[in-house]
Amino acid sequence: MTLEWLTRAMQELGQPAFRGRQVFSWLHGRGAVSFDEMTDLSKALREQLEERYYINTLRVARRQVSRLDGTVKYLWELMDGNCIESVLMQYHHGNTVCISSQVGCRMGCAFCASTVGGKVRDLRPSELIDQVLFTQRDSGKPISNIVLMGIGEPMDNLDNVLRFLALVNHRDGLDIGMRHISLSTCGLIPGIRRLAELKLQLTLSVSLHAPDNETRSRIMPVNRAYDVEQLFAACHEYFRQTGRRISFEYAMIDGVNDHDWQADLIAEKLRGMPGHVNMIPLNDVRESPLKPSRRIRQFQQRLESHGVTATVRRSLGGDIDASCGQLRRKAMEDGGEKQL
């Protein structure tokens, strides 16, 4: 619930408007899980709230801690029994949580574990926020950065994602700055355009994975609806409107998207825009025949020879199924998920 909504709800109960702000900061700032915790409200009011409303919570269904780097992977059970994942990563610049935006995904990327089994439903704003709040609560680590790079396609659930962004960004909530938030999309162009109009200062990541239609359509079905030309046009427009550099994700797949000519094509398409290519060593997904590339350094050098900045993503949590959808898949196979 937004501050405006809570304020109105309090007034309807005959309370002064400022109670809305009090409840808002309990819910969104401190992550209260029961009305009883809200000790600056009268007992009578807490009981009234208890009767009328509920507070969304998550239950830890599994927690895996990497012995390599301390990365924590959470499998959360939602109130309806569905499961989603979040990952806590500890960097020197702060603690980052990677959150899911949907239960499952319908985008169908060939290399991604999240999409096996399709989409079950969208996550609600409360379920998005709770991934941050409960990760913080469970780990005892203050979260300073959020990446929307978990299970699901954020732009396929954009209304709820935008509400979530306003809530975590709110002064009386977690107060996480937009510049500390990244949103990743497989390339849903209406969403990119809508985000551009809002001129938020977050970092947009676009899952490119191939600069030519033939390859991209083969590994990312979304490309059949919004092709490479349309995608780059939307990206250029996004940069013009927001002034923000876009980060292009590129999972390096052996013999599929790791040829020099593809690096050349990326450079060509990026001309006129300060793009950044984030190369991801492909995580082996059991369901997929695609294998990790052995040409990561060469591809990087080729991009750099064109003046394109390219980094190789450091891999965290390699021992704990930390990449998209892997843990949920495993739990589904083990019968850990009631809905499926």
What is the rounded distance in angstroms from the CA atom of residue 65 to the CA atom of residue 334?
19
Q: Please report, for residues 4, 57, 105, 190, the alpha-carbon distance to residue 156 in angstroms, rounded to integers and kept in the order given.
A: 26, 23, 9, 10
Beta carbon of residue 298, minimum distance to ligand SAH (angstroms, whole number): 18
Closest to 181 (Cα-Cα) out of 200, 163, 198: 200
Q: Does 251 bind ligand SAH (CB under 6 A)?
A: yes
The answer to whether the beta carbons of residues 94 and 144 sit under 8 Å apart is: yes
243: buried, middle or exposed (CB in 10 Å: 19+, 13-18, 0-12)?
exposed
Q: What is the number of other CB atoms lying within 10 angstroms of the CB of residue 133?
A: 25
Query: Restricting to residues 69-108, which ones interact with ligand SAH according to CB under 6 A?
Result: 107
Cβ atoms 45, 84 nearer than 8 A:
no
The Cα–Cα gap between 283 and 321 comes to 9
**C-alpha closest to that of 35 among 14, 58, 52, 13:** 52
109 part of the interface to ligand SAH, by CB under 6 A: yes
Size of the site for ligand SAH (CB under 6 A): 18
Residue 149 interacting with ligand SAH (CB under 6 A): yes
- Which of 46, 259 has the CB closer to ligand SAH? 259
The token duo for 109 is 């990327």
Considering the complex, what minimum distance in angstroms separates the CB of residue 207 from ligand SAH? 4
Give burial (CB, 10 Å; 0-12/13-18/19+) of 248: buried
User: Which stretch of DSSP H or E encloses residue 72?
Assistant: strand 72-77
- Rounded to a whole number of angstroms, the minimum distance from the CB of residue 321 to ligand SAH is 11
Binding of residue 282 to ligand SAH (CB under 6 A): yes
CA–CA gap between residue 251 and residue 40 (Å, rounded): 50
Q: Which residue, 15 or 184, is less far from ligand SAH as judged by CB?
A: 184
- The residue within the footprint of ligand SAH, chosen from 96, 145, 215, 323 (CB under 6 A), is 323
Q: What distance in Å separates the CA atoms of residue 26 and residue 133, rounded to the nearest whole number?
A: 11
Q: Among 153, 258, 321, 337, which residue interacts with ligand SAH (rule: CB under 6 A)? A: 153
Which of these segments, 21-29, 171-179, 276-284, 330-338, binds ligand SAH (CB under 6 A)? 276-284
Smallest distance, Å, CB 304 to ligand SAH? Answer: 21
Q: Which region, judged by CB under 6 A, interacts with ligand SAH, from 30-38, 65-73, 182-190, 240-248?
A: 182-190
Which residue stretch of 33-41, 78-86, 125-133, 184-192 sits at the interface with ligand SAH (rule: CB under 6 A)?
A: 184-192
- Cα 210 to the chain's mean position, in Å? 21
Q: For residues 321, 276, 132 and 28, what is the CA-based torsion angle, rounded to 10 degrees?
A: -170
Q: Is 185 in the site for ligand SAH (CB under 6 A)?
A: yes
Identify residues 207-226 at the interface with ligand SAH (CB under 6 A): 207
Residue 283 touches ligand SAH, criterion: CB under 6 A: yes
Three-state SS at 285 = coil
In this chain, which stretch among 173-181, 230-238, 279-287, 303-311 interacts with ligand SAH, using CB under 6 A? 279-287
Sketch the per residue contact string, 51 through 70, with ligand SAH: x for CB under 6 A, - otherwise: --------------------
Q: Which stretch binds ligand SAH (CB under 6 A): 19-27, 30-38, 41-49, 109-117?
A: 109-117
Interface contacts to ligand SAH, rule CB under 6 A: 107, 109, 111-112, 149, 153, 184-186, 207, 249, 251, 280, 282-283, 285, 323-324
